[in-house]
Amino acid sequence: MPEYNIQALPEELLETVLGFVKDSAPSESYWNCLKTCHQWHRIGLGLYEGLGYAASAIIESDSRRCDVREGDSQSDFNMSFNLDLAPPSHLYLSLMKCLTIHIHHRRVAASISPLSRGDLVESLEKVFSLTKRLTTFSLRFSDGWDFPRLDVPAVPQSMLARLISVLPDTVINLELDTAGTDLPPSTELISQNAEYHLCYQISKILMRLQHLRLRVGHVCDGLHGRHPNARPCQRAESCEFCATNEQSACAFLSSSKMRSMTIWLPWGQTAANNSFVRASAPLLNPSFRNPTIFLLIHQIDNRNPERTSIVDPAITIYKNFSWTPQSNVSNALRDRLEYFRFKSISGSSHGPVKGVSIRKAQMEQDRSRPCTEHEIIVSTQLRRFHISPSLGTRPEPGSTSPYSYMAEQTVENMLSWTQNSHLGYRFPLPEADEPGKPFWKHTKLWRCRFPDGCKERCETLIHLRGHHMYAHPGSLHHREWQGYQPCPSLGCDRIGANGFKAWAEVEEHLLGHHLEPCAFLRDTYRFR
């Protein structure tokens, strides 16, 4: 009787078998199948139209963002980093459509490996050289960069500009989200070398992009300024843009493939002090014919209306704030169609909260000498995003949220970038909202990102808020939840059921968030 070997099956039949496993079995089981042999790995990866990968990086700098206003030619920040990027194979890289880099710093995510002096951009450039089909790239700073304080690594925007310059030509969807904490370039630096200017670098690839989301520390009219592949206007004399000296807008609209552009203005920036806002006026006019959906989000410090940047004045931006969207979608459409319902939200913060304050006082009594690192980490503030109005003076249940991504998605709605899990790879929601699109998964588009492995899908953002209320803690880093103590460092994953059973375990964990040796333990050693 002849012996049969599954590897002897025609590849078309093997592809059908693996496709059935992919659609019916848990994802972990499917990925275990792909480890069987090179043939299964190759065929199985090919079944993913939107193959993605997410990696985490920890960045530190000798300079702190709260101490520096802008980067210039004399600046030397001595950056160090640790990039955890280990895809399953070179084949995976060559077939990958989406790559996301989640950026953390030491007080958010401790590293068991030492950080190395080097260049993150050079490391990513080597990865890009292996990607042949990469269409979507996202670099996103984690929670804990802009709140509760700006005592975080100073990351120059010139580094982001260099990153854009080495992106593969295949990238058509781009997200850069530093929570506005990257260090703007000085006028001197831009005049000396335009290659260090992020807006200039993006303008060079703007014509090929389909989805762009920017939330950075500096945005100017340079983003509109250079369109080398734009077609000349065929009716300049009668063109409504050219007639008003808005040739850049005309060039963009006539040649761009852009479907959505979401720009978060830096804190305190308005038409009075930001050239990008003025240059974008015709593109935001609902009466002009425009195939691109533009969304401009104003970040307003209501407590300090004179604010000019995220560090000036040097107090928190989240005491009393609001995010207000502006779009070229008319108000009539925004009222009638849920897809375009971009909502304004407000928020506030206070602290440190009572529970953390008590533990802090106990620590001071138990130790003969103070520890500055413990002081910084444990002095936790509470931030609330007011997503829907309440009838009374006190917020109604479900009307607020501690989750920053919930607030961002409420403002951006269907122009949001999303991810399938905590620290998963990110992609534009319009590329996942119906079958046949690259990142389509399910009719329920809104995913929970709580860091305990929850992957709940919800039909609407309102349903997702309800899920948060009943399945996860309402106070992320400040209160005990079902017997678990959270880490007080905003952005740390050790919250909810990922927390600790005793405060002593929390204290030991906090040593991993220290930048300097702990004064409570003189012999504590930390990699730098």
pLDDT for residue 366 is more than 80: no
Say yes or no: 42 and 59 in one domain.
no
pLDDT tens-digit profile of 115-153?
788 889 999 999 999 999 999 999 999 999 999 889 999
Does one domain contain both 12 and 110? Answer: no
* 63 belongs to a structural domain: yes
Pair 94, 13 in one domain:
no
Tens digits of residue pLDDT in 67-83: 999 888 777 788 899 99
Considering the domain boundaries, does residue 276 fall inside one? yes
Range in 133-142, 231-240, 256-265, 350-359 the model is least confident about: 350-359
Dump strand ranges (E) for 131-284.
136-141, 173-177, 211-215, 260-264
138 and 4, same structural domain? Answer: no
Tokens of 134: 């990469």
Strand partners, 71: 185
Do 54 and 36 share a domain, yes or no? no
pLDDT in tens, 446-480: 999 999 888 899 999 999 999 999 999 988 888 88
Q: Which domain holds residue 369?
A: 48-70+87-232+241-471
Tens digit of pLDDT for each residue in 328-348? 998 888 888 888 999 999 999
The pLDDT tens digits of the residues spanning 286-297 come to 887 788 999 999
| Cβ atoms of residues 189 and 71 within 8 Å | yes
Q: Indicate the helix (H) or strand (E) that contains 101.
A: strand 98-104
Task: Look at residue 307 and tell me if it is in a domain.
Answer: yes
Q: Name the domain boundary from 471, 494, 523.
A: 471
Kindly state whether residues 276 and 153 are assigned to the same domain: yes
Are residue 98 and residue 39 in the same domain, yes or no? no
- Within-domain flag for 123: yes
What are the residue ranges of helices labelled H in 367-396? 372-378
Q: Residue 46: its pLDDT value, please?
A: 72
Number of domains composing the chain:
2
pLDDT digit string (tens) for 87-105?
888 888 888 999 999 999 9
Q: What is the pLDDT of residue 523?
A: 43
Q: Is 513 inside a domain boundary?
A: no
**End-to-end CA, the chain:** 65
Question: How confident is residue 1, by pLDDT bands cut at 50, 70 and 90?
Answer: very low
Whether residues 264 and 370 fall in one domain: yes
Is residue 523 in some structural domain?
Answer: no
Q: CA–CA separation, 109 vs 104, rounded Å?
A: 6
279 and 360 housed in the same domain: yes
What is the residue whose two structure tokens read 């060039």? Answer: 251
Q: Both 30 and 107 in a single domain?
A: no
> Do 125 and 269 sit in the same domain of this protein?
yes
C-alpha R_g of the chain:
24
Same domain membership, residue 132 and residue 7 = no
CB atoms near residue 461 (< 10 Å): 20
Using the 3D structure, point to which of 438, 471, 504 is the last residue of a domain: 471
pLDDT digits (tens, 9 = 90+) for 18-69: 777 777 777 777 777 777 787 777 777 777 778 899 999 999 999 999 999 9
